Structure 1
Amino acid sequence: MNLQEYWGNNRKHNNTANKLTFVLFIVYLMALIWILLFKLDVQFSYTESRRVNLIPFSEPLILNGKADFGEMLLNVVIFLPLGIYAGILFKRWIFGKKLFFFFLITFMLEGIQFLLRVGAFDITDITTNTLGGVIGSMIYKVIEKVFKSSVQAQKFMNIIAAIGTVLMISLLLLLKMDMLPVKYK
């Protein structure tokens, strides 16, 4: 079932809330692509060669002689919104279909990173990104139960997502314009 069929079959839902959710979802996807594929327009040294890692969790980033799981945690966190948006926009999908959606999105992004030489094709990233989508979907289910109404839960998430989107875009723009004390170059 596509988005138009979903909205057409559920006229009870507030059309404004649906449109806002969809717009926020598109902005999130654009930011995700900019961050993951275009690396904020930064040229990293590892982009010169292509790498494939098919052994999950075999290469955690070693920092000062210790395993750094921060990158894996960030991979989970950056995909939480995908799960939340899927919970709202694809409410009728069963868990398996959502799981496949999270996997497919992350698999495609990893493949494109590899083809464009902007990152490695890493099974650990696919696993952690997919996990982030699953956790995000579960977070939305909990919020829906708390509000006891999918419409109220959606409106609440739209407020949170709108605030988060404005903050994210502001931070990314400030970072891009070198107006933050943190430098990414």
Structure 2
Amino acid sequence: MSHKKNRRLRIFGKILFILYIAFIVYFLLFSDLYGRTGVRTQYSYNLVLFKEIKRFWQYREQLGFYAVASNLLGNVLIFVPFGFFLPMASTYRNFFSAVFYSFSLSLCVETFQLLTMVGSFDVDDLLLNTVGGAAGYLVFVVCAAIRRRHVSKKSERSRG
């Protein structure tokens, strides 16, 4: 791939990353969909790992599929794009960086929710968000390998 095309791809990745960050900030902190606009009078938090995950799984029939999926699967899926776009938009291109920055962003969001009493601080969300960021990075690695293979085959055909 030419240097110019590679640079365009990186700029496109940076633009998508910025748009994703704007979306995630709005969705996780201000969205009406999950009751983020209500005023709470006390702090809400969970510091016991797997407590909320177990609770959602244990009461899945009473809560319904949507509530369980949006909490458990949604917390993973919301961070998949972060893990995917991070290596495109930055020089941090390894698995541990993706995990570290996914955890860090999730910690910032959870702490903000705790301090502003919008949503709740939940260590299970930290875990699920971090897993999502790691999964996104793995998807990036697979896509990058496919792209490199495609580009190398294309360049071999043009030379031969």
- TM-score where L is the length of structure 2: 0.75
Distance change in 2, residues 1:127/1:46 (3 Å): farther
* Bigger shift: residues 111-120 or 87-96: 87-96
Residue 96 (structure 2) pairs with residue 103 (structure 1)? no
Which range moves more in the overlay, 50-59 or 60-69? 60-69
CA RMSD of aligned residues (A): 2.8
State the shift of 1:74 in Å.
0.5
- 8 Å contact kept, 1:87–1:141: no
Task: Structure 1: give runs of 5+ residues left out of the alignment.
Answer: 1-10, 153-185
- CA displacement 1:92-124 (0-9 Å, x = unmatched): 543222211111000000000111111110000
Which residue does 1:87 correspond to in 2?
87
Aligned partner of 1:57 in structure 2 is 50
State the 4+ residue runs in structure 1 displaced beyond 6 angstroms.
none
Match of 1:141 in 2: 141
> In terms of Rg, which structure is larger?
2
Q: What is the CA–CA distance in structure 1 between the aligned matches of 2:38 and 2:92, rounded to whole Å?
A: 43
User: SS of 1:56's equivalent?
Assistant: coil
Q: What is the TM-score with the length of structure 1 in the denominator?
A: 0.66
Can you list the C-alpha shifts for 1:122-159, whole angstroms capped at 9, x where unaligned?
0000000000000000011111122226989xxxxxxx
Q: Are 2:113 and 1:113 equivalent residues in the alignment?
A: yes
Q: Which runs of 5+ in 2 are unaligned?
A: 153-160
* 1:30-83 residue CA offsets vs partner (Å, 9 max, x unmatched): 010000011248555574431110112212333553686311100101110001
Q: Quote the residue 1:36 is aligned against.
A: 28
Q: How many residues align?
A: 142
Matched-pair identity in %? 27
Counterpart of 2:94, as a letter, is: I
Give the structure with the larger helix fraction. Answer: 2
* SS state at 1:119 partner: coil
